[in-house]
């Protein structure tokens, strides 16, 4: 599939139909807990990864129209070690990119934008395999995701005029859109693998 961003965003909104209350409540609880840990020195380092993984699991279940519940945001703690490692290693790589210059930092941010979604789908992969898988998936798609994020920037500006109340809707919507983006490029990855599996490679003697 090569779905346009506008269509992906429409599909994300459709997946939220009838689930806005649950999604808003889930992201509010997640944000509230993480904000609490922000005031404890270094504590946020240990919960950021598991919560990012939990949000990815929740968002993927949402766009796949499977049963979801608020406790999905805590499922990342079932894979605590890898989610923590992914958060630390991925974060360090991106920070080093920004230290070199802003462009490498942005580039690396989009290379690894799908990392937690990959870990959600493939919990048995190690951290480097997850990062490499995300990088492979995002090959040729980084600018498309950047354009989607520009749309979110415009919506964020509108939220300012609502005294940021609009963020209660925008944040879960952004996460659903990103999960839908992952689903789209993940489908293309699977199609490419299926084609490769069916190729007849002549034997060379």
pTM, full prediction: 0.88
Give the structural domain span for 104: 5-192
List average pLDDT for each run of 10 residues in the chain, which is 205 residues long.
89 95 95 86 86 96 93 94 95 91 91 97 96 96 95 91 92 96 82 46 39
Contact predicate 15/176, CB 8 Å: yes
Q: Specify if 204 maps to a domain.
A: no
- Give 164's contacts (C-beta < 8 A, 6+ positions apart): none
Residue 183 lies in a domain: yes
Burial of residue 160 (number of CB atoms within 10 Å: 0-12, 13-18, 19+) = exposed
DSSP codes, 130-197: HHHHHHHHTTTTHHHHHHHHHHHHHHHHHHHTTTTTTHHHHHHHHHHHHHHHHHHHHHHHHHHHHHHH
Number of domains, the chain: 1
């Amino acid at each position: 599939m090569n779905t346009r961003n506008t269509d992906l965003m429409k599909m994300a909104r459709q997946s939220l139909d009838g689930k806005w209350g649950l999604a808003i409540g889930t992201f509010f609880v997640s944000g509230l807990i993480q904000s609490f840990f922000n005031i404890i020195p270094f504590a946020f380092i240990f919960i950021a990864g598991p919560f990012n993984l939990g949000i990815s699991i929740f968002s993927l279940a949402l766009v796949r129209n499977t049963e979801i519940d608020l406790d999905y945001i805590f499922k990342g703690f079932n894979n605590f070690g890898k989610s923590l490692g992914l958060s630390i290693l991925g974060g360090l790589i991106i920070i080093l990119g920004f230290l070199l210059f802003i462009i490498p930092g942005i580039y690396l941010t989009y290379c690894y934008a799908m990392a937690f979604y990959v870990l959600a789908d493939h919990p048995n992969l190690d951290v480097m395999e997850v990062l490499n898988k995300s990088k492979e998936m995002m090959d040729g798609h980084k600018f498309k995701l950047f354009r989607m994020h520009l749309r979110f920037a415009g919506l964020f500006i509108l939220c300012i005029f609502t005294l940021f109340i609009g963020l209660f809707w925008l944040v879960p919507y952004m996460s659903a859109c990103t999960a839908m983006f992952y689903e789209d490029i993940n489908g293309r990855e699977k199609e490419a693998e299926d084609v490769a599996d069916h190729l007849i490679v002549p034997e060379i003697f």
